[in-house]
Structure formats: C-alpha cells, structure tokens
Amino acid sequence: MELVDETLREEERQHLEAVWAWLDENTVTVPEPNTVTLYDFRVDWSSWSGSFRIKFDDVLHEDRFQFSDNGTGKVRFSLPMFVSPLGAPASYPALEISKRTREAIQRALDTTFPKITPHGRNRKTGIETTVSTPITDRLTSDELTKAKNLVSSQFSITQNCNSAIKPA
C-alpha cells in the first residue's frame, strides 16, 4: 500500500510541476501601463454584470474581462482565466497585472457604474437586499437609465494608472 501512495504522490508532484511550467509559459505579464482603456462593454443590466475589452496604453488585450455585482454595491472585475489547464482541478489567471493597474481598472468601473444597494438588511427600513433582488429595486430608474445611456456600443473610458486612489 505504501508503494502505491508514493507512486501517486510522485505522479501528483510531476503533474503539479507540469501545470506550473505550463502557466509560466502561457501567462501573460502586462508591463505597468500609463493608462488603461475599457471598451466594448457587454452588459446584462438585470444581473448588473457583463464583460469588457481593455487596452493597456495602446496595446489591445485579446481576452475579455468579466465584471459583476459583488454584494457591496459596486461592480468588481475578474481577470481572464485558464480553467483546468492540463486537467488541474483549478483555475488560474491568464495574465498578471500590477496593483496600480488593477486600481485603475476598478476606478474606471466605479466611474462607469453607479453604486447600487448592497446585499444585507437595511437597518432603517428593515428591507433585505439579496442576490435575487431586482436591479430596479437597488437603483433609481433615473440612475439606471443614465448608466444605460452612458454605456452605449461606442462607450470607452480611459483611466490613468498613476493617479492616486480617491478615498471612498
């Protein structure tokens, strides 16, 4: 039995090493740009989620970035992912970006999408907001219309990566 365990552990170690080598070879590291431009938004307004394309300075990135409501009232983005590379039971980011680049992308999203009512129970009204609460109950119709008009097919937003983050 011990020989079987050692063989399995060796196979797992070799597989893990192969996955890390594959990731090293295939993950794109983006040098810190001066600006990021988010464009080509595809939005599901009912779930306050979607995707966008991005330019780092003037370099177009091929993959789409996803964004969604994370329960705090703001949208958050996720990097393009490799799902189960070489059969590994996990997902890994397909690119590496700096903290300042992440912050610039988030500032652009915060500027684009108004804050909606966060998940939880409102202490004053007692009304509970969940993932199932319609967006129309989490945002005024004027704010929703304004966001829809802003994020048209031609919309893009450029954010400087060297700007300091403004306190919330």
Per the structure block, which two tokens stand in for 95? 């690119």
- Residue 116 resides in a domain: yes
**Which domain, by its residues, includes 150?**
30-82+96-160
pTM of structure: 0.84
- Residue 90 resides in a domain: no
| pLDDT tens digits, 69-90 | 989 999 999 999 988 788 877 8
138: pLDDT strictly greater than 70: yes
Fill in the amino acid letter for 149: N
- Residue 88 resides in a domain: no
Q: How many folded domains does the chain comprise?
A: 1
CA–CA dist 27, 153 (Å, integer): 30
